[in-house]
Structure 1
């Protein structure tokens, strides 16, 4: 589509990128067919095409309103539209640019500001989050229902990790909320990789990937977290670490974007490109290994929920299912597997009603084949789906580790 940015918009650091993305959209509307919020609400402005028009109007100098902000807030950033789009529109980057401009023009109400700042203060701080999780479970009967469903009632403690003993070494991002909500996931990963002759080197200095800050429109704070992680990983990268393994697909999608997001930083651009190139979702490591050597034996009937950050952002749809099938797990069919579960980072907290509707739809689809357990690849999806209190939800690597002989 044709667009003419305003003089003010042309001063933005990413003005040229925004204009290029806008011009790549041909207004076909195919994106609406797979947009979760458009399917729920039926409003053109709650679909990708409508949001692109809103951002276009903003960047062309038209009035910015709370209504504009609301429609952009309702987007899950699931990137389903990018998978569907025949023109290759880089929607998620345009959305990030547009949200920053809109938030700078439209002050949020106090309640929204407090919620967002609280999320930014708590979620990226792994130690604080874990402490609050433990405290919340201690006083679980006193918590309101909205908080209870966010806290797993049974948290499996982390088992011991094997010592670093193999020539092949990888790094692993521990994550923010996963150590508190599912602490055994990374430990199970280390044990499975050890069985395959790969050691996980812990890097305690690496913290939050930066996605929480970045997607709550504290973009520079998110990029600063990215820079700190790059600094923490770099000595091990130079020492020959073959990959930076991600067990949460949401983190993996963001770290794989470091190279793009820091491309204008002369100090970090080349390092960020290297980090993004080394970053692999866990399934990208396992699928190339001799999995038959693991000796997995399981007749467990499971449904796999493929997170949006795995299938749409990282283009790894079907990869985990293939690994699980190779290992003998009995996978059930999942209708509309491309649709978002409604977790979407902090979306389930900032947009609880829409998120719950999407979750319930997703659970109905996942349970249609009567699985014994639901597996997934992202801690946000895992916690969100488990909050329905229906079929148990686990990370897929833990199911593999439990089936080892």
Structure 2
């Protein structure tokens, strides 16, 4: 694709990156076949190819309108198009650049502006979010259905093993997960403890930065990244941990990107790159110990449970992890049912379910229909956002896959 970027961005780091991405796109259209919003709306401008064209126009200095912003807002940034693209177009990074420019050119007003501000300031604050979740559970029965779906019932976390192994790894608590599902990190700690690895959380680390960054507060997202790096770095520098384990694939994608986010920061660039290198999804850690896991589970008789696996977009398209969790669940004795259109987004996408509720609900209902077709009695996923979003539309229990492995390995309830 030929480009003629405008003076305001041509010679900037963002402009050079955008130009490189745009030039890779050959407008073949393969991406439209796997784009969730194009499937729903059938509008070229609500698919990756059309959005790339819109961003190109913006960066070349063409007028920007609220309609431009609307089509970019509707994008889930699910990155399914990146998995499909034969030319290696890094669409998600182009979308971040384009949205940032559009936001500056067409400021938001009224309710839209207030809601986005509230999400940026409220969700990443772990203690505040936890207090609100606790209050919401107290009056859950009185809440409207749409809001009640965002307040999951509390489940006990269970014990967290004390650090006792030579092998140690860090876990990110995050912002929403500690309040919504503390059982996930606790289950991870028990599974890894059984496999000879101690898991610890570090005080001072919090939100990964994805909430602010993808709501166009990119400076705020980078500040969150720096805070986490500061919290983790002493342990990294002393060689006390061998990896940083992500139990929410959405956070995993963000932390893996710290090296890119802070590449222009002379103070944090090297540290950010090292943090990204150390960051792994929990599935990779458990898969590396698959033989030991299999041996520990050998001979155990468990009830056959049919499970429908929902692979979050951040896992399969962002982290490029496919087939790993499925293998671990089979090793743990679960029967996986086939799921059609497994590449499509469930509609959660961070704050998308709150900002685009109509499209998000359509995608959720489509996904739940696909997950229910095989007769599963349980749905498993790998991201707290997907889990809570899907649970709001079904009576089937939805769990993080590590909780299922924990149940088989350590006898905890599913």
SS at the partner of 1:22?
Answer: helix
Q: Which runs of 5+ in 1 are unaligned?
A: none
Provide TM-score, normalisation by structure 2.
Answer: 0.96
CA separation in 2, counterparts of 1:134 and 1:389? 22
Aligned to 2:181: 182
Length, aligned pairs only: 404
Distance 1:297 1:110, change over 3 A: farther
User: Which stretch of structure 1 is more off in the superposition, 319-328 or 246-255?
Assistant: 319-328
CA contact (8 A) 1:9 1:61 kept: no
CA contact (8 A) 2:55 2:98 kept: yes
Q: CA-to-partner distance for each residue in 1:49-81, whole Å, 9 max, x for gaps?
A: 000000000000000000000000000000000
Aligned to 2:293: 291
Aligned to 1:377: 382
Distance 1:15 1:297, change over 3 A: farther
Q: CA-to-partner distance for each residue in 1:224-249, whole Å, 9 max, x for gaps?
A: 11011111111111222111000000
SS at the partner of 1:8?
Answer: helix
Aligned to 1:151: 151
Aligned to 1:265: 265
Shift of 1:11: 5.0
Shift of 1:301: 1.1
SS at the partner of 2:245?
Answer: strand
Aligned to 2:106: 106
Aligned to 1:365: 370
Q: CA-to-partner distance for each residue in 1:106-142, whole Å, 9 max, x for gaps?
A: 0112101110111112211111111111101111233
Q: CA-to-partner distance for each residue in 1:22-42, whole Å, 9 max, x for gaps?
A: 111001000000000000000
Shift of 1:12: 4.1
| Corresponding residue to 1:389 among 388, 394, 410 | 394
CA contact (8 A) 2:80 2:344 kept: yes
Shift of 1:208: 0.4
Q: CA-to-partner distance for each residue in 1:149-204, whole Å, 9 max, x for gaps?
A: 1111x321211211111000000001111111111110010011000100012201
Provide TM-score, normalisation by structure 1.
Answer: 0.98
Q: CA-to-partner distance for each residue in 1:211-265, whole Å, 9 max, x for gaps?
A: 0000000001000110111111111112221110000000001100111111111
Aligned to 1:313: 318
**Dislocated runs of 4+, deviation >4 Å:** none
Measured on the aligned residues, the alpha-carbon RMSD in Å equals 1.1
CA separation in 2, counterparts of 1:294 and 1:132? 40
SS at the partner of 1:344?
Answer: coil
CA separation in 2, counterparts of 1:254 and 1:148? 28
* Residue 115 (1) aligns with residue 120 (2): no
CA contact (8 A) 1:297 1:327 kept: no
SS at the partner of 2:373?
Answer: helix
Aligned to 1:302: 307
CA contact (8 A) 2:209 2:220 kept: yes
User: Which stretch of structure 1 is more off in the superposition, 298-307 or 27-36?
Assistant: 298-307
Q: Which runs of 5+ in 2 are unaligned?
A: none
CA separation in 2, counterparts of 1:11 and 1:144? 50
CA contact (8 A) 2:368 2:394 kept: no
Shift of 1:318: 1.4
Aligned to 2:194: 195
Shift of 1:297: 5.1
CA contact (8 A) 2:380 2:401 kept: yes
1:1-400 equivalences under 5 Å are 1-10=1-10, 12-152=12-152, 154-240=153-239, 241-289=241-289, 290-295=292-297, 298=302, 299-400=304-405
SS at the partner of 2:288?
Answer: coil
CA contact (8 A) 1:304 1:375 kept: yes
CA contact (8 A) 1:120 1:213 kept: yes
Distance 1:297 1:82, change over 3 A: farther
Shift of 1:335: 0.6
